[in-house]
Structure 1
Amino acid sequence: MATLEIKDLHVEVIDEENQTAKEILKGVNLSMKSGEIHAIMGPNGTGKSTLSQTIMGQSAYHITQGDILLDGESIIELPVDERARRGLFLAMQYPAEIQGVTNAEFLRAAMNARRTTDNQISVMNFLKELDKNLDLLDMSEAMTERYLNEGFSGGEKKRNEILQLLMIKPTFALLDEIDSGLDIDALKVVSKGVNAMRGANFGSLIITHYQRLLNYIVPDVVHIMMDGRIVKTGDASLALRLEKEGYAGLRDALNLDVALVDEN
């Protein structure tokens, strides 16, 4: 059983133009194991995406205090590619477009990056796995020959991120607002892909604003983040309560002195 632990994590973002730093995360604590699905919900600007980017090692986010442990070992000094090789995966809210690299080329390279040099996946086995997952996500084979995310619609990019998830099979997936901009049919397909990964060897941290995603991917644990901290943790019923009361209602119930960003 693999573990991912966030301990007293403080993170700031540097504004290089003004040479100023702004603290975003203010002491986040979170622990999860493979086999679990965790959801993080919270108002805009509270640090949810900052947390996922920091776990993955994006250089714009500077850790000033705390640690990130993967299977008990600190990873905060590791570069992004090494974290990926060790089993972390980030599905971003706005995936980048990469010209000159097809989806198929990227997928096979990413899969082999987690394998030893004498255990690279064969073309036949790669294509077999690819066809199975394309069918699961109702994606055409033509998408695999297109350059990575180039000219993709928002829904196609999200499906493509889940295709990468299914092919790479990470230990922990950080899914940052994978439901953003999706219609109900696309949401069901993306959720089906995530649910297909559920099992003892896989865990996921899902960042979302909305209960509707959690109707399809039912979390084991729900965390509420406000003002750079996790202020409440519970089971799936916590998200239902949040849907009913809103962040303001939960803030008042917890007697929190937290200013909320206008969601509109």
Structure 2
Amino acid sequence: MAGGPGGAPRPIQLQAHDPPLRYVGDMLAWVHQALPSEREAAQSLFAKCSNLDPTEQTRSTVASVSESVCRPPRTRIERTIVTDQRREGGKKPVMLYKISNLLRFYHNTVLQVTDAGLLVATLDELHQLSYKMFLYQHCRVKIEPPGETLAPTPGVARTLSLLTEVVTATTVADDAHHDCKQIVSCVVDPLMNAISESATGLGAVESAVYLLNCFHQLHTTGDKLEMIQGQIDAQLDTLSQEQINGVCVS
């Protein structure tokens, strides 16, 4: 992955301090662009062979040749995925999700050119690693105790904003929309539990008001609406009963 003639473009390894998505994308694009020339050379080599299938032999040869480029991208992409990207701040889960989709796209694209060799396996393993890291980062939900206004805390808004950004992120992966349901479940379930736990210690009315405010904000996520609506109805019932009890006592 050296640079071009005269140093332009510059070597990819010098871009390690660039935004992670660009760095990973440049590496994968370089690998992808190198495959057609290898395929053309293999096609020319096997074109006049009558005792074998030129297409199948070409795919097999390209898969074998591409094994030599697997180690550098694996090492550098793994480092990019697992490194604490402090410069990304709260955007790290979003970055991991975009890298995961990029890896999946190139895995599917390379598989159209070669057999399922080491390069394809490497891209798939890196995709799985980045997606697992993304889910791990995304599932960590921290909610502050409610304030006097009983409004949703900044942690609720922050988590929902991150969820929205991930779900709506532009992606080149054809089947990335299949991830949405899993992602929403991964975030909404822990978030609802964290919200309920943060309301511990409030009175019945204050707790119901706080939970209603939070669940109403959650209601905009799209999925899980039935479950969230059930929670909203339960808190409305609690408030109604408390009002009725208050009227009866007075």
Q: Going by fraction, where is helix more abundant, 1 or 2?
A: 2
Ranked by relative contact order (alpha carbons within 8 Å, sequence separation 6 or more), the top structure is 1
Shorter-normalised TM range: under 0.3
User: Scaled by the length of structure 1, what TM-score is found?
Assistant: 0.25
Query: Which protein has the larger Cα radius of gyration, Structure 1 or Structure 2?
Result: 2
* Structure in which a larger fraction of residues adopt strand: 1
TM-score by length of 2: 0.26
